[in-house]
Chain A
Amino acid sequence: MNFLDSTIFINWFKATKRDFVKPEVAGSGFVLHRIEHGEAALTSTLVKDEVALWLSRYKRSKLRDFLDAIRSYTSLTIESPTLDDEVEAESRLGACELGYLDCVNLAIMTRAHIDTIYTSDRGFESVPGVHRLLEDLTKDPKFSAFQKWTREKL
């Protein structure tokens, strides 16, 4: 199971069809498509809230759509941070190129024994033991089926 970061949603929100040539955009859509079709993934209430806050700031009219959509990914588990996660996050601050919220997400990943994160945030590459996965997904054998879906459905 992999962790889902906020950038995946926001890349997809901001995309136009012309952006499919960008691996981070196509990869983000592919990740969401995989989760929609049953791939188990984990995210956090912080990620959900960050995306909701982003929409409330920039696209208020679509906030409800996002909340309904995220609830519809039934194989996506949304985990709340514990105080211990936050203590762990505090100890990581400054040791990598991530802010506090992402350090809390890292602590949640550690607690869930997850080492791979779907994100376009390259700051995660500065964390030892964490694997950032996104652009390489365009080499996945099932990516062409996703591309066909985008051509037919979007």
Chain B
Amino acid sequence: MGRIAVIDADRITLPREFRRQAKVRKGDVLEYKVQSGSLVLSKPRTIEDPTKRMFGIASDVSLDLSGDELFLEHTRMKLRRSK
């Protein structure tokens, strides 16, 4: 287990070995949570080329509802299930 010093109240430095093992690079955004008294740092699941990946994923969809209608439809279905 390695150790990380708290430099200021709000700054820490990640050791090189940690960065290498976790493949953390400059500019990465990490997620953190406090779990059972432990501080857990993790890399969020990200993908390369998100714009390329999202292109045309629903190109065969012709009908669509607007935002408010979608939420209303969601509520209508909940109420229908409540009967």
User: Do residues B27 and A74 form an inter-chain contact, with CB atoms below 8 A?
Assistant: yes
- Complex CA–CA separation, A57 to B74 (angstroms): 10
B39-79 contact mask (Cβ, 8 Å, vs A): 1 or 0: 00000111111111111111101011111101101100000
Knowing A13-B59, A71-B45, A72-B47 touch, does A66 contact B54 (C-beta < 8 A)?
yes
Within 8 A of B (CB), among A24-65: 29, 32-33, 36, 46, 50, 53-55, 57-59, 62, 65
Knowing A14-B58, A15-B59, A36-B51 touch, does A68 contact B66 (C-beta < 8 A)?
no
Number of interface residues of B (CB under 8 A): 30
Interface residue? A73 (CB, 8 A): yes
Interface residue? A85 (CB, 8 A): no
B53 to chain A, nearest CB (A): 6
Q: Which residues of B contact A57 (CB under 8 A)?
A: 65, 70, 73
User: Do residues A71 and B54 form an inter-chain contact, with CB atoms below 8 A?
Assistant: no
Instruction: Count contacts between A and B, CB distance < 8 Å.
Output: 98
Task: Given contacts A14-B59, A65-B47, list 20 more A-B pairs with CB under 8 A.
Answer: A10-B58, A12-B51, A14-B61, A32-B50, A32-B51, A53-B71, A55-B58, A57-B73, A58-B61, A59-B61, A62-B57, A65-B57, A66-B57, A69-B50, A72-B47, A72-B48, A74-B29, A99-B67, A99-B68, A153-B52
